[in-house]
Amino acid sequence: MSERKDEYQWKIEKERGNVKDVLREAVEAVQRRWVEVTKASEMEVLYLHQELFSAEFMGHVDDRTTELAAEMNYEELAKVFCALGSVRRRATPVIRSLAFHMARQGEPLPPKMLSNILFAAQALTFPDPVLLEKVAADLAPQIPQIDKPILIGGILFCAGQLRWRCPVLLEALAEWVEKNASACPSQTLAALMLTLATVSYIPNDIDSLFRVVLPRLSQESLSRTSVWLDVVWALVVLGKADAQHVASVLNPTFVAAVMASEAQHRPGVRLKLLNVDAAAGLLIPGYSGPRMETEELGAAAMPVRGREELRLSRHVLGTLHNLVPPPRFLLQNLPAPMGVHVDGELLTDRQGRPLPIQDHGGALTGKGPVSPPPEGAVRLGLLVWGFRDYTNGTQELVGSARLAVRLLEAQGCRALQVPYFEYSIKAKTLKNAKYLEAKIKEVVSTVS
């Protein structure tokens, strides 16, 4: 019996070896004939199996795709683009060429294919404004004919991930969900809430929408505790959360459960909890429910910032030192007990002239003021906004940034906002200093 088993195993191994030999020979033959790749279907297959081929060969495929993109129809372009997205091959010249030619097509693709394009754009981190405009123009009129909630949920997910604030499409999606809420799984309803909050978009009839959606959403109806946190956070961002919503996620049992179940995403979960906790104390009138524990706030995670955002923030602070030198006139390295990164805090009079904040304490240090500031003094919280703090292709802040402004102002600070598109690191120091000085006076002038 043992001998038969060994013989059988030997035959299997031999067959496997033969298959590998055949595959290797086939791959080598294909690679020698790369100039014969002329069809979109061939490119699609090659991209989907790119791990079999050499980097040099795939470079040739990229070149052929770019050369032949102008000859492909809309569906062929979309399929090749989606193949690149599914394997996350971010060959920039290729995806730019495909996007360019897709944007020039006439007849629209069906919703499922358009949804696939959005998934690919999200996977490739390629929120090309012209392509997205084309997808929106093709997709929005077809939304009422969609009969699958999961497809609507997928489109919403991609819009949120891409930070894509397209009013026409978002209105169509919101109307569809309101009319078909009874057929939607909780996950689709949650996706709508989170996407609206992410891109900070309020549908025209949001009260009617929420009257239909909110009764169908509960912690029990969702597969993961973190999704319920997403929903409540979204309600806070959209200004629609009540005390019951907030209390449900600040409950110590819920906090422990969500932190334990989402260990990999703990920083993001903690920041949302801190946002909700801050909103409970500052934005929900009469709230008397549970709050985050002091030790939990002490271990608050700082919002993650990219290299370019950090560089911009440091440059702005460096320039600001010429006007309000720290630490006497400017507080830096502030904690983030609200889950919000504030770049600095300063104190001025009504003419925008700096006052010694070190003598009076900061409202955002978490320690409270040392002494009351002079009458008429204005507290300013510096918020330096980078590219990712705005929705794609617009000058509209994302939901988390808008919430930061509301929380800051509820703390008694005016928001001194410095957008990346107004402040240039390459400009001369004098020009940037004059810009910041004017910005301070502009904010202070709005104080009644």
1 has a pLDDT exceeding 60: no
Q: Which residues contact 258 (CB under 8 A, 6 or more apart)?
A: 225, 226, 229, 249, 269, 273
Q: What is the pLDDT of residue 32?
A: 74
pLDDT-above-90 percentage for the chain: 71
Q: Name the pTM for this structure.
A: 0.89
- What is residue 352's three-state secondary structure? coil
* Domain residue spans of the chain: 218-301, 307-445
Q: List phi, psi (to 5°) of 386.
A: -95, -175
CB 346, CB 313: distance < 8 Å? no
User: Average pLDDT of 275-297?
Assistant: 87
User: Confidence class of residue 30 from pLDDT cuts 50, 70 and 90?
Assistant: confident
pLDDT at 301: 63
pLDDT digits (tens, 9 = 90+) for 384-393: 999 999 999 9
> Is pLDDT of 9 > 70?
no
- Across the range 123-140, mean pLDDT stands at 96
pLDDT digits (tens, 9 = 90+) for 180-236: 999 999 999 999 999 999 999 999 999 999 999 999 999 888 888 899 999 999 999
Please give the full DSSP string across 281-329, using - where no structure is assigned: HHTSTT--S----HHHHHTPPPPP--HHHHHHHHHHHHHHTTTS-TTTS
Q: What is the pLDDT of residue 3?
A: 53
What is the phi/psi pair of residue 171, to 5°?
Answer: -65, -45
Would you call 117 helix, strand, or coil by DSSP? helix
pLDDT in tens, 435-446: 999 999 999 998
Structure confidence at residue 54 as a pLDDT band (50, 70, 90)? confident
Question: Does residue 328 have a pLDDT over 90?
Answer: yes
Q: What is the mean pLDDT of the chain?
A: 90
Whether 5 has a pLDDT exceeding 90, the answer reads no
Which residue type does 208 have? S
**Lowest mean pLDDT segment, chosen from 42-51, 126-135, 174-183:** 42-51
CB distance 387 to 421 below 8 Å: no
Confidence bin at 368 (pLDDT 50/70/90):
low
What is the H or E stretch that residue 382 is in? strand 378-385
- Looking only at the bridges linking them, the beta strands covering 354-355 and 344-348 are antiparallel
Residue 13 has a pLDDT of 52
Mean pLDDT on 73-83? 97
Task: Determine the pLDDT at residue 272.
Answer: 94
Res. 10 pLDDT band, cuts 50 70 90: very low
Question: β-pairing, 344-348 with 378-385?
Answer: antiparallel
How far apart, in Å, are the Cα atoms of 412 and each of 166, 340, 373? 33, 15, 12
Is the pLDDT at 347 greater than 70, yes or no?
yes
